[in-house]
Structure 1
Amino acid sequence: MSPQLKILTPIGMLGYSYNKETFWAAVEAGVDAIILDSGSTDSGPSKLALRKSIQTNEAYKKDLEDIVAACHYHRTPVLIGEKSQKFEVAESNFFKGSAGGDGSTRGVNQIGDIIQSVIERGGYRSMKVIKILAEIEKDVIREKHRRGMIRPCGISVPDLVEEDINEARTIVAQMGVEPWIKAMNDHPDFDIMIGGRSYDPSPYAAFCAWKGFPDLGISYHMGKIMECGGLCTSPKSREALATVRHDYFDITPLDPESVCTSTSVAAHTLYEKTRPDVLVGPGGTLDLHSTTYEELEDGRSVRVRGAKFIPVKDNEYTIKLEAGKLDGFFSIFMGGFRDAVLISQIDKFLEAMKTYVAQKIDFPFDINVQLFGRDAVMGALEPNSGQTGHELGILLRARAETQDQATHVCQSARVYCMHAPYPGQRASAGNFAMPCAPLDIPMGPVSEFCMYHLMTVSDPCENFPITAIVMEGSNTAPQRDSSGVDVQVVVNRHATATNGGIQTKSAKSTVTTSVLGREPPTGHKFLADLASVVRSKNSGPYELTFDVMFSTEQSRDIVKNAKILTAEKISTLYNVPVSDVIACLWWDPAIAFKATIKRSIVSGSFHDSDAHGSAQHMPFMELPIPVGNIAI
């Protein structure tokens, strides 16, 4: 039994690119596996509903070229999984999960085809490739639904109805570690493993278990951090290395400009999660209440201990189902208003526009309007450059049953915006700056989530078929010259340490003005000036989560003792009922506060304004915190 495993994640998402020199330095120094992510629901339901990939074939190929080469030259296994698609480098295998972005059979085959082409072009040896599929037929779902074995994944998700199943374009299930382990046991001589939809840390934990590291608390927690690559570093970077031992693991950034700190690593369990202390997945719960984070003497690594995995009871194993559907077509136009008279009455003007379109159109339609503003209309001619409030940009989306109908609605709304009169009008030539041609742009089908549910299964592997193929190669690649690879990682001890991988000012900063550009009420500080990180993000498509992190315990205690960050305050900030505040807690290991609310509009649906959920943090930033005469 090996005393340790070294796992390399070159990037948090396949296709996002990574530093090839850093990658090869790590590989030449010796790693047991390369694991990385290749998919996500963060950007909405379109990948599932439209059966498309997150990245282009060219982007996947560029990242896979060096990974497959590492598999050829070093016989290092690679794993890719999804939501986290991952690669692992260890002796003679290549794993891949949630291929192609949506975890479907199409996506798995797409990545397989690219790997075959890389093997052929590179003149690499033949490789045994394992595919684990995650797509599920509708008849299976219907039968489970009729038997009451499907329930919503969280309180924000509605109950599943038969119509959801009928309209689903592609249904995938999120696998745990068991199908991965079974594939490795069935094919111990594999080179590459391509997995469909997978729980983020599953490939990591499965590989560890297969290599004789059975503690799922340690391996799941490691995988939860590593699946985003170097996002847990300060400042955030791309490549990260995990060293796993039987009672702890270490995380080390490979970018010499980055370091790990105890808070930056602890903070990663806040990211995209409903809450940071209890993480539920296939087969059980990861309990992080007793975890510790120790900064090591190298000045850049952090050692993590104490996570516990609590397995589910017999007959309670569930897998998550995900699916998207199509709901009509939409077209858009973009432009801007610069007339102050019109801007002063813009709400009434846009309501009149909707009435005008409704009177003109004799078929069902829907309109969504988003307003933006600053320097878009006049550009270089703008005399008030940098100021806000003097102009408005507009993005209008029109939805209808067909694309032509949607474009007709869009065109009608745009003509009104161009030429409709309004009280006090002086500019009779037109109201509206139009930067794009064609003016009315057809965008295609509207995608929406229709399934985000848990299905009870008797066998964790029963819905994930495993196939093995040999991808033929000529084995004519020249011997790799590694003489120029510098495997020494230089520590930049002047790198700025931050929370959550986001660079911030030093705790000793002498800056006195607010980062918001205006002063808070007397005796107060804006939360933006007390915290080092204030961010928002999806926690799945039905929830929005917020992280507030601090550089010092002193700053945290000022906010904590003010007792302002409550469920009631969050309800007020975001105009939601208190019952929709799902989580509201302090997380001291990361010197942080966490809140999660139910999304009022599901991610990526027609009326959603922020599919990623990452631009919803300003109400927290602008929150005044009483500080009195406390020196900060």
Structure 2
Amino acid sequence: MSPARTKDELRIFTPVGQLGQGWSEQIFWDTLDSGVDAIILDGGSTDSGPGRLALGKPNVPRSRLARDIGMLVQACHTHNVPALIGSAGGDGENALVDMCIDIVQEAVKANGYRPMKVISIYSEIPDDLVRQKLKTDLITPCGTAVPQLTEHEITTSTRIVAQMGLEPFLKAMQDNPGFDIIVGGRAFDPSPYAAFCLYHGFEDMGVNYAMGKIMECGGVCALPKSRESLAIVRHDNFDILPCDIKARCTEVSVAAHFLYEKTRPDIIHGPGGALLLSDTTYEQIDERTVRVRGAKYKPEPEGQYTVKLEGARVNGYNTIVLGAMRDPILLSQLDSWIASIEVMVAERCSGIDFELKIHKYGVNGVMGPLEPDTTTVPKEVFVAVQAKAATQDEANEIASAAKLGLTHMPYPDQLATAGNFAWPFTPSEVPMGPLAKFCVYHIMHEVDRTALFPIKVMDFHGNNSFVAQPRPVKTIQPQTVTDSAGKGLANPKKYYLTPKPAEGTCYLADIASVVRSKNSGPYELTFDILFGDQATYKKVKETGILTRETIAKLYHIADEDVIASLFWDQAMAYKATIRRPAVSGGFGETDTHGSQQHVPLLYIKMPFGRERAS
């Protein structure tokens, strides 16, 4: 049953940042026992690449979804608390929404829960509508790194989903005030949070969306990052605290979360408007809780509502081969030797239309064309071969030819004539099936904010025989969070970067509390550099070293490919975002998640010693 709609505060509980990843049962039930108004959580994202959307697969096994959803249904029964889910199953396609609904129904019947009103909201968009909008110039790329949409990409997409805003969730609640569970398709991450607040009369959309943007990741904004989090929402502010007593939020850790996986931290675009964060303030209320004020929301003009479209398609078939090489004679001439293998494969397989990538992990395998240092000869190199062709048999043939070359292609001054390649698995050629590719990541303009997203209401009839068993009481002792963690976002660290910086200088890694990279959607990479104290942050900022030009030079890209470059005083941070060298998860990918592209930043030299940084 939905809680009463006359409240001065709302307590919203998020047990994990992604449905299906699991959470602590003790924290889950203890938090519910303390009193919450709703359980709200997100189900997915584009982080894992295009495979799920193109192939219709959930982001976690069904059994893991059943475990999490089963506990949500039990909470609805025992605590009369509603649950809202966005982006069900990972990409939020209709079939995965229905799968989650089936799990709810199974849980109600199998466990003897009370009857429940369950709502599904769907987000797949008809191709014809997308074509119509394209013909009337009402579809634009989502960012400068995204190409223009074409008729071909629409036609070949397995499916296209739209990120719904808060309005479908709000309509579902308004039309069905006795609801228990809402399972939504692809949604803007904060949408169900903002909708629940608005439904209960909390009309400051800056507060609602800012709270939802933090909460959708669970306790990632805490120190150390954790799973479960609680928001206490008021009409002009909200509090954030982790539910795990071993973690806490700080002003900096919460402010820094608005940097996370976004192009820039001061403005976050979503369906129908933008969240503006330049004037946001953060106040430490107690050791574990931060209060957030001042976020603003700017809606789009009436009649100009927009949604983001996401689509993916099958792009041939691929086969991989995995192995390694350690011979120093070979490794000293690896690039030219790999080139000779590529020529050999092209000659042997001239009748096949194919692509071949041989990734060299240990040289530039992780960073690919962004790698700044390719001069060092490593001790050993791990090789990942990816062969792509129109059919699986053809991809297998290409991979087999490449594996033959890796094993037996000669090279100058060779001593080890028995073979060059150590592979751990047999058969060594591993068919991977269809290869997916993002092809739609665009903004659709002038749309109806609710009509695109059909709503279905179901009554699941349980016999109400379930009786909750007493849970054993466990005591968790709080752990002291170190002072250094309280100042910044990391514990004290010892870096062993080589070569050591010259006397009177230091590396950025020596003085930063966080240096990270992450996808900002499939077409962008974003970098965050955070500092643990104002003195260090100010000193770095005053050097003028962290600039757009520095990022472009470091990553061997054009200045115009640096999409954002700015300092963010609220989190004592520098942010840069660049065009991705390859669309996330496509053929030739080296780092789908984008989380290992930060290393060159660690070696940026500062013109002062580490001891003088603070």
Q: What TM-score do the two structures reach when normalised by structure 1? A: 0.92
Measure, in 2, the Cα distance between the counterparts of 1:19 and 1:607: 38
Task: Please state how far the C-alpha of 1:489 moved relative to its aligned partner.
Answer: 8.2
Secondary structure of the equivalent of 2:236?
coil
1:229 maps onto 2:218 in alignment: yes
Inter-CA distance 274–626: structure 2 relative to 1 (3 Å threshold): same
1:461 maps onto 2:476 in alignment: no
Q: Is the 8 A contact 1:35 1:80 kept in 2?
A: yes
* 1:589 alignment partner in structure 2: 570
Inter-CA distance 500–133: structure 2 relative to 1 (3 Å threshold): farther
Amino acid at match of 2:423: M
Secondary structure of the equivalent of 1:407?
helix
Measure, in 1, the Cα distance between the counterparts of 2:328 and 2:504: 36
Secondary structure of the equivalent of 1:557?
helix
* 2:328 alignment partner in structure 1: 340
Task: Please state how far the C-alpha of 1:518 moved relative to its aligned partner.
Answer: 4.1
Deviation string 1:140-189 (CA, Å, 9 cap, x unpaired) is 11111111111111111100000000000010000101111111111111
Task: Please state how far the C-alpha of 1:628 moved relative to its aligned partner.
Answer: 5.6
* 2:589 alignment partner in structure 1: 608
Deviation string 1:551-588 (CA, Å, 9 cap, x unpaired) is 11111122111110110010011111101111101101
Measure, in 1, the Cα distance between the counterparts of 2:342 and 2:487: 44
Deviation string 1:320-364 (CA, Å, 9 cap, x unpaired) is 100001110000101111111111111111100010000011111
Unmatched 5+ stretches in structure 2: 1-5, 364-375
* 1:498 alignment partner in structure 2: 485
Measure, in 1, the Cα distance between the counterparts of 2:382 and 2:420: 12
Task: Please state how far the C-alpha of 1:444 moved relative to its aligned partner.
Answer: 0.7
Measure, in 2, the Cα distance between the counterparts of 1:550 and 1:37: 29
* 2:409 alignment partner in structure 1: 420
Task: Please state how far the C-alpha of 1:120 moved relative to its aligned partner.
Answer: 1.9
1:320 maps onto 2:308 in alignment: yes
Deviation string 1:486-529 (CA, Å, 9 cap, x unpaired) is 7x9865444566389953218xxxx6xx4425411232110011
* 1:108 alignment partner in structure 2: 97
1:548 maps onto 2:536 in alignment: no
Deviation string 1:222-245 (CA, Å, 9 cap, x unpaired) is 000000000000010110000001
1:561 to 542, 550, 553: 542
Q: What TM-score do the two structures reach when normalised by structure 2? A: 0.94
Q: Is the 8 A contact 1:174 1:321 kept in 2?
A: yes
Measure, in 1, the Cα distance between the counterparts of 2:304 and 2:167: 15
* 2:372 alignment partner in structure 1: none
* 1:208 alignment partner in structure 2: 197
Unmatched 5+ stretches in structure 1: 82-97, 375-386
Task: Please state how far the C-alpha of 1:629 moved relative to its aligned partner.
Answer: 9.0
Structure-to-structure mapping, 1:74-473, within 5 angstroms: 74-81=79-86, 98-297=87-286, 299-361=287-349, 362-373=351-362, 389-473=378-462
Amino acid at match of 2:116: M
Q: Is the 8 A contact 1:267 1:499 kept in 2?
A: no
Task: Please state how far the C-alpha of 1:472 moved relative to its aligned partner.
Answer: 2.1
Measure, in 2, the Cα distance between the counterparts of 1:517 and 1:356: 38
* 1:382 alignment partner in structure 2: none
* 1:41 alignment partner in structure 2: 46
Structure-to-structure mapping, 1:9-48, within 5 angstroms: 9-48=14-53
Amino acid at match of 2:21: Y
Secondary structure of the equivalent of 1:570?
helix
Measure, in 2, the Cα distance between the counterparts of 1:406 and 1:250: 53
Inter-CA distance 458–426: structure 2 relative to 1 (3 Å threshold): closer
Amino acid at match of 2:96: G
Secondary structure of the equivalent of 2:118?
strand
Task: Please state how far the C-alpha of 1:65 moved relative to its aligned partner.
Answer: 2.1
Measure, in 2, the Cα distance between the counterparts of 1:193 and 1:485: 31
* 2:605 alignment partner in structure 1: 624
Deviation string 1:463-491 (CA, Å, 9 cap, x unpaired) is 00101011221211114436x457x9865
Amino acid at match of 1:503: A
Deviation string 1:112-133 (CA, Å, 9 cap, x unpaired) is 1111112222211121110110
Secondary structure of the equivalent of 2:186?
strand
Measure, in 2, the Cα distance between the counterparts of 1:352 and 1:537: 34
Q: Is the 8 A contact 1:49 1:324 kept in 2?
A: yes
Secondary structure of the equivalent of 1:41?
coil
Task: Please state how far the C-alpha of 1:455 moved relative to its aligned partner.
Answer: 0.6
Measure, in 2, the Cα distance between the counterparts of 1:570 and 1:339: 35
- The percentage of counterpart residues that share the same residue type is 47
1:66 to 71, 94, 106: 71
Inter-CA distance 481–629: structure 2 relative to 1 (3 Å threshold): closer
Q: Is the 8 A contact 1:317 1:456 kept in 2?
A: yes
Amino acid at match of 2:231: A
Secondary structure of the equivalent of 2:261?
coil
Deviation string 1:19-52 (CA, Å, 9 cap, x unpaired) is 0000100001100000111111011111110111
Inter-CA distance 334–496: structure 2 relative to 1 (3 Å threshold): farther
Measure, in 2, the Cα distance between the counterparts of 1:231 and 1:268: 8
Measure, in 1, the Cα distance between the counterparts of 2:301 and 2:289: 36
Inter-CA distance 629–28: structure 2 relative to 1 (3 Å threshold): closer
Amino acid at match of 2:450: C
Inter-CA distance 593–629: structure 2 relative to 1 (3 Å threshold): closer
Measure, in 1, the Cα distance between the counterparts of 2:436 and 2:248: 40
Q: Is the 8 A contact 2:93 2:185 kept in 1?
A: yes
1:538 maps onto 2:519 in alignment: yes
Measure, in 2, the Cα distance between the counterparts of 1:586 and 1:542: 22
Secondary structure of the equivalent of 1:31?
coil
Amino acid at match of 2:27: T
Amino acid at match of 2:288: R
Deviation string 1:261-300 (CA, Å, 9 cap, x unpaired) is 0000000000000000111111111111111100113x10
Deviation string 1:364-411 (CA, Å, 9 cap, x unpaired) is 11011111249xxxxxxxxxxxx9822111000000000000010000
Measure, in 2, the Cα distance between the counterparts of 1:567 and 1:170: 37
Task: Please state how far the C-alpha of 1:74 moved relative to its aligned partner.
Answer: 1.2
Amino acid at match of 1:327: N
Greater Cα shift, 27-36 or 520-529: 520-529
Measure, in 2, the Cα distance between the counterparts of 1:497 and 1:214: 38
Inter-CA distance 215–490: structure 2 relative to 1 (3 Å threshold): farther
Measure, in 2, the Cα distance between the counterparts of 1:408 and 1:424: 30
Inter-CA distance 116–291: structure 2 relative to 1 (3 Å threshold): same
Amino acid at match of 1:322: E
Task: Please state how far the C-alpha of 1:247 moved relative to its aligned partner.
Answer: 0.8
Q: Is the 8 A contact 1:234 1:496 kept in 2?
A: no
Q: Is the 8 A contact 1:232 1:500 kept in 2?
A: no
